[in-house]
Amino acid sequence: MKKVVLITGGSRGIGKATAEVFAKNGYSVAINCFANKDRAEETVRYLRDNGGEAICVPADVASEEQVMNMVHNVRKAFGRIDILVNNAGISQQKLFTDITPEEWRRMFAVHVDGTFHCCRAVLPDMIFRKSGKIINLSSIWGIVGASCEVHYSAAKSAVIGLTKALAKEVGPSGITVNCVAPGVINTDMNATLDDDTLTSLKEETPLCRLGTAKEIAEIICFLASENADFITGQVISPNGGFVI
C-alpha cells in the first residue's frame, strides 16, 4: 500500500516541489491550498498525468474547522495519512512599529495555529497506529531573526519550539517530528525582493547562490523516509552556509 502524505501550502514553491518529489517516490499526495487553488489543481493534474495519485484539498489552515474537513477528505480518498508536511505560510516585510495587530495575529494564525491545527487533526490516528511522521517548515529567520520581519521570525521560532516539544511527547508512540528551516530559497515568496537585495543575499551565502525548492523538497522527503526513523526533534537548516 502506498504511503500517504498531506502537504499544506502545496500550490507553489517548496510545497509544489515537495509534492512532486513525494509523487516521484511513490507516495499518494494530498495538496492543500488556500489562495491558489487553480495552481494546486494544475499540479494535481500534472502528477496524475505522470502516473501519480494526487488530490487537491483546499483549506485555510488557520481555521480548525477547515483543517478537520481537509483531513477527513484526505482519509476519505486515501484511507489514512502517514506523513504531514506543515508548509503553509505567508511573509511580509515591514518595520516592527508599522505592524498592525491584525497582521501580527494573521502571521501567527497561519504559521503557528495552522501547524497546531494540522498536527492535532492527524495525531490521534498516528498515535493509534503507533506510526507517523510530521515535518514542519520554519526558516533561518526563526533561528536568528530578521530585521523588518519580526512577526514572521517570531512565528517561525514558535514552530521550532513546537517541533521540539511535540517530538518528545509523541516519540513513545513511534512518531517522529522534525523541522526544516531553509535559508534564502528561489521561490515566489522571495520574488518580491529587488535585484540588489538578491545579489547581496547571494554574496552573503558561502555557496554564492540561492537554494532551490527541489533541494528543500528532497530533505523533507528524506525525513519522511525509513532512513530517518531515528531522527526526531531536530532542526535541519539547508541555507548554503548563510547561518552556521
User: What is the per-residue pLDDT across 38-67, written as a single tens digit (0 to 9) for each?
Assistant: 999 999 999 999 999 999 999 999 999 999
Q: Is 152 known to be catalytic?
A: yes
Query: What is the mean predicted confidence (pLDDT) over 142-147?
Result: 97
Query: What is the mean predicted confidence (pLDDT) over 73-95?
Result: 97
Contact in structure between 17 and 213 (CB atoms under 8 Å):
yes
pTM over 0.95: yes
Predicted confidence at residue 188, as pLDDT, reads 76
CA distances 62 to 114, 177, 205, Å, are: 5, 20, 33
Predicted confidence at residue 1, as pLDDT, reads 82
Predicted confidence at residue 198, as pLDDT, reads 87
Q: Which of 22, 141, 152, 242 is catalytic?
A: 152
Predicted confidence at residue 237, as pLDDT, reads 98
The residue whose grid cell reads 499544506 is: 8
Query: What is the mean predicted confidence (pLDDT) over 143-156?
Result: 97
C-alpha 155/C-alpha 139 separation (Å) is: 10
User: How many percent of the chain have pLDDT more than 90?
Assistant: 93
C-alpha 109/C-alpha 121 separation (Å) is: 16
Which triple of cell numbers denotes residue 133?
Answer: 511522521
Strand segments (E) across the chain: 4-7, 28-33, 53-58, 83-86, 132-137, 175-180, 235-236
